[in-house]
Amino acid sequence: MMFHDFNKPSEKINELRINNCTGIYVVRSMHRNIFKDVNNEMHKEYQERTIPTPPEEMLKYLVDENVIYIGKGIGNGGLLKRFKQEFLHIGNGTFFRTVGAVLLFNPIKGLVNSNNYRFNEPEKQAAKDFIENNLEVSYECKHTLYEFFNIYNINIIEKSMIKLNQPIFNIQNNSNSSPLVTRLRNRCLNIARQNPDIIFENKYVQILRAQVENNWCVNYMCTTCGAVDLKKAIKKNEGHLFSAMMDLSVSELRRFPNYREVTRIAVDYLNLDERFILNQHWPTIFNEIGRAVIL
């Protein structure tokens, strides 16, 4: 049987730190009352939700009646990167955004890419606590999946699992997707799209905008002014710099004309651990600005 070793997300993240891989993961609720005290509509729908009995040849794709989400971690970073996105909100994560929507949190307004809406720190921490205290996760690495299903395409396996288990948080490839989850996600999108040209919440975006508006020098090796205005702004926000940078996607960052030059200077204000994590989050950006300058 696949996907039987369930545990708290934090425990699975620790496992993957030791032995990371690419593969598919399954999130399930610890019990059917996890939404009772946070969202009555969601609680009712989840209580009433059932999975049709599958044909015998499809039983191998069936996991658990309490499964609420199925996803995959592929490419650079594998499952570890995906788990950090989905359970810790480090970067962009569809599952984490859905949790926040279902918990009826309001996202930050005016993000560059509202599709990847985010939450302020109190809501972010509350969502992380909800995930850790109410959900369990199991994963299987790619080679194990290929051997078990005798299919050598992870996307096909994932789609088949979603089709059969009909997880309430999965929208795509789910013939029984939840209208309520879709509505709550759209609610967050609508809030995030308010004032789309004004982004006050993200400290790094403030720095990027101020550089453009004030035409601050961005020359990393400037011998005239030493890019002092930009460095003062970065230093002023040093305590928020890492989290603000991690909250931006590559596409959001690239909206600003001098993102390379500003980032080349900004990373000097991060410690080595933060630089390493940011390098994993923005690998293409680090390649653009010169890895040797950063690490």
Give average pLDDT by consecutive 10-residue segment, the chain, 295 residues: 91 96 96 92 92 83 92 92 94 92 88 77 93 96 93 93 94 92 90 60 84 88 90 91 86 86 93 88 86 45
pLDDT in tens, 55-78: 887 888 888 889 999 999 998 899
Question: How far is it, in rounded angstroms, from Cα 232 to Cα 212?
Answer: 15
Model pLDDT, residue 116 = 84
Model pLDDT, residue 281 = 85
Question: How far is it, in rounded angstroms, from Cα 264 to Cα 248?
Answer: 16
Burial class (CB in 10 A: 0-12, 13-18, 19+), 240: middle
Beta strand pairing call for 135-141 and 67-73: unpaired
Model pLDDT, residue 181 = 94
DSSP lists the bridge partners of residue 69 as: 27
Q: Is the pTM of this model over 0.85?
A: no
Question: How far is it, in rounded angstroms, from Cα 69 to Cα 174?
Answer: 11
Model pLDDT, residue 239 = 87
Model pLDDT, residue 145 = 94
**Contact criterion met (CB below 8 Å) for 114 and 192:** yes
Three-class DSSP category at 219? coil
Model pLDDT, residue 201 = 59
Model pLDDT, residue 295 = 44
Model pLDDT, residue 196 = 46
Question: How far is it, in rounded angstroms, from Cα 85 to Cα 25?
Answer: 13
**Contact criterion met (CB below 8 Å) for 151 and 63:** no
Question: How far is it, in rounded angstroms, from Cα 168 to Cα 165?
Answer: 9
- Cα dihedral sign for 72, 110, 287, 282? negative
**What token pair was written down for 244?**
């603000």
Question: How far is it, in rounded angstroms, from Cα 162 to Cα 146?
Answer: 17
Model pLDDT, residue 27 = 97
Burial class (CB in 10 A: 0-12, 13-18, 19+), 9: buried
**Contact criterion met (CB below 8 Å) for 275 and 244:** no
Model pLDDT, residue 220 = 84
**Contact criterion met (CB below 8 Å) for 92 and 249:** yes
Model pLDDT, residue 111 = 65
Question: How far is it, in rounded angstroms, from Cα 206 to Cα 200?
Answer: 7
Question: How far is it, in rounded angstroms, from Cα 167 to Cα 214?
Answer: 49
Place of tokens 């230093």: 235
**What token pair was written down for 230?**
């930009």
